[in-house]
Each structure stands twice: as C-alpha cells, then as structure tokens.
Amino acid sequence: MNKIMGTVLAFTLTAALTACGTSGNNTNGANSATTNTTTNNAVAQETDKPAAKDLVISTWGFSEDFFKEAVYEPFEKEYNVKIVVEIGNNAERLNKIRQGSSDVDVIYLSDYYAQQAIDEDLFEKVDRANIPNIDSIYDLAKAPLGEDYGPAYTIGRLGIAYNPALVKGEVKSWKDLWTAFPKNLTLPAITATAGPMIVDAASVVSGSTEFNEDQAYAKLKELDSNVVKYYSQTSEYVNMFAQEEIAGGPIMEMYFKDLKAAIPAAVFVAPSEGAYAVMNTLNVVKGTDNKELAEAFINWQLSKEVQEKSAKGKIDSPVNTEVVLTEEEAQGVTYGADVIGKLRKLDMKFVNQNITEWTDRFNREIGG
C-alpha cells in the first residue's frame, strides 16, 4: 500500500510542477527527493516490524466469541502475537500434552487434571515476578497446586440445585441428599470433576472428622437407590431437570442459570457444611519456547479488566479482589471474600493418588 501511495504522490507532484513550468527547478527536485526518501523509510519501517509470534493456547472452547473479543484479540494487539487455540475437554487436551502431539504453550485445566500434569512433570515452573496480578487475587487462587505452578483464574463452587416442588422440605446441607430426594436424585459420576467431591461429602455426612473411605462408600451405597443417573456431562443434568425426571442434585453454580431458565422456581444452595471449590488453572507447558509470553498471558487473564468482563458476562467467576459486582451482576457467580472463604478444597494430590481405587470401588459397589 505504501509503494502504491508513493507512486501516486510522485505522479501528482510531477504533473503539478509541469503545469507551473518549473520542472527543471533544483529546489523542487530536492523536495521530490525528500518525499521519496520519506516514503522509502516508511516502507522500510513497515518491513522491519517483527512478524507476530504464535502463542498456542489449549482450552475448553466454551464462550468462544467472548474469549476471542475480550481476552485474545486485545492481548494479540498489545503483545504483537497471534493466538492459536486448541479445543477439547480436560482429558483429551492433557493426553495431547502427554503424547507430545501438540505445540501448546499455555493450558487451561481444572485443578484435578492440572495436578496429574504436575505429577507427570508436564508443566514449567512459573516465574511469579512475571505474573504480578497474582497479588490481586484471592489467597485460595494464588497457588492451588503449589508455588511453582500456575494460579486459578476462576473459582466456582459445587453446591446443590433443586426444584422445590419435587423435594421433601427445604434443602440446606449435604446430608439432605439422603432425605429430600425420593428416587429423583442425580449425582456426578465418579470420573467427573465433581465425583471425588461427592465421595468427600459422603464422608462428612457419615460423621467422620477426617476423610474415611469406608464410611463414605457405605453412605453412598445407602443413597444409590434414589439416584436416577450418575451424570458425566452437565447437559445430562439440565435435560433431566427440565423434564422433571430429577428433582436436583449437586452441580456447579455456573450452570445454575440453565436450570433456572428451565424451571424458574429452581433454588441453588451452598450446603451448611461448605460448598466445594472448583478451580480452573492456567499453566505453562513444559518445553515451550514462549515461557515469558505465556506468563504474560496468565497475568492478562488475571487482570481486573478481563476478570470484570468475564464476571459480568456470566462466563467465569472472578478471583481478582478488585472486581466489584452489583447484587444483580453477582447472581449465579461465585463472588466475594465471604463466599470464597467458606469453600471446602480437596487435596488434589491425595485425590489423584486414590482416584483409580475409588473408581474401581465405586463401579463394584455402587454405580456398576
């Protein structure tokens, strides 16, 4: 485009000088030379601008338009980078990293799967000096899997949703799952993100002050006859709820809006024993050539501006403590120090050490 403009400008100047009878004037020749030099410099500067680097991001693929417009494109402009997105569920994307069949630089994963990657040495240790926005997020989110690894960019909560017309009495606690849902309950499958949380909740309901696997499974076995289905995908829960095949069960708060759209009277409860923290993390993949750029992206995702847009758009709950929401904006969002402070957090390292045994036992004794 600059070359075209240079040609048009030179032609215009020549035509104008000829019309005035001054085509041989030395002064005007100097002006023409200056114009050409300026144009050439502009072309050189454009040519010298470094090409945008690729930053490959692995994520789930939900709310793609939002992330493109509010997160990716502004970052691309600020850092002269081209973001390439790989999409899939947690397990699929983690397996790509394991197999080395991906060029991912930074990856979004739930803490459950991120811990597996850490145990397998698949992540780089982050330099927190390159992620200063960590200082502005909730303590729970700063180092959910240790100081060497990435923060949680969002914290949701697993509580109980229900249709008041189909339950016995008011639901207030985890123990009410055993009394309020006569043959119309759903629970997450043991292999789902929330599966281990329900095992822990069963241990709590059994009266154990420390996690007790035997007591937890005994309680889950008591509950089994009331379970319509152990769901693996939230869409299954939403469909059963909308059709009143179930009265409710444990679900992440971020999906409650879908239940509310189907059954306006639906209620979401943070159980008195504590809802469970559901944390999604950002980490730098081992072997990346873009470590500092990946850390800059993590910092970007934690910024007040991005976190606020995400919260107000009902995309993700904010972890940045500087985000302020109205009561209406906070509906369906896990928000505020008082809410975050009451959450129960599982030790994901312990979960990953035991999940194979828990899954086998669940399949044998309960959901088989």
Distances (CA, A) of 132 to 92, 129, 142, 217, 256: 31, 6, 11, 43, 33
Spell out the CATH class of 156-276+348-365: alpha beta
Tell whether the model's pLDDT for residue 18 goes beyond 50. Answer: no
Q: Please, which residues bridge with residue 5 across strands?
A: none
For residue 2, count CB atoms less than 10 angstroms from its CB and return exposed for 0-12, middle for 13-18, buried for 19 or more: middle
Query: Could you tell me the two tokens for 365?
Result: 């004794």
More confident residue, 246 or 30: 246
The arithmetic mean of pLDDT across residues 263-290, rounded, is 97
Model confidence over 307-358: pLDDT tens digits? 999 999 999 999 999 999 999 999 889 999 999 999 999 999 999 999 999 9
Residue 133's nearest CA partner among 328, 305, 354, 362 is 305
Query: Could you tell me the two tokens for 348?
Result: 């994901």
Q: Tell me which residue has tokens 């069949």.
A: 101
Q: What is the DSSP letter of 325?
A: -
Q: H helices of 105-233, where?
A: 111-119, 139-142, 195-205, 213-223
Model confidence over 35-49: pLDDT tens digits? 454 445 544 454 566
pLDDT of residue 48: 60
Model confidence over 186-240: pLDDT tens digits? 999 999 989 999 999 999 999 999 999 999 999 999 999 999 999 999 999 999 9
pLDDT of residue 275: 98
- Contacts of residues 46-50 at CB distance under 8 Å and 24 or more positions apart, as own/partner, are 46/2, 50/80
Cβ pair 256, 332 in contact under 8 A: yes
Tell whether the model's pLDDT for residue 15 goes beyond 50. Answer: no
Distance CA 340, CA 272 (A): 14
45: Cβ contacts below 8 Å, ≥ 6 apart: none
Q: What is the DSSP pairing of strand 53-59 with strand 106-110?
A: parallel
HSE on the CB side for 334, CA within 13 Å? 30
The pTM of this model reads 0.82
Say how many C-beta atoms besides its own lie within 10 A of residue 132's C-beta: 11
Give the domain ranges of the chain: 2-48, 53-154+280-338, 156-276+348-365
Distance CA 103, CA 261 (A): 39
Fold of domain 53-154+280-338: D-Maltodextrin-Binding Protein; domain 2 (3.40.190)
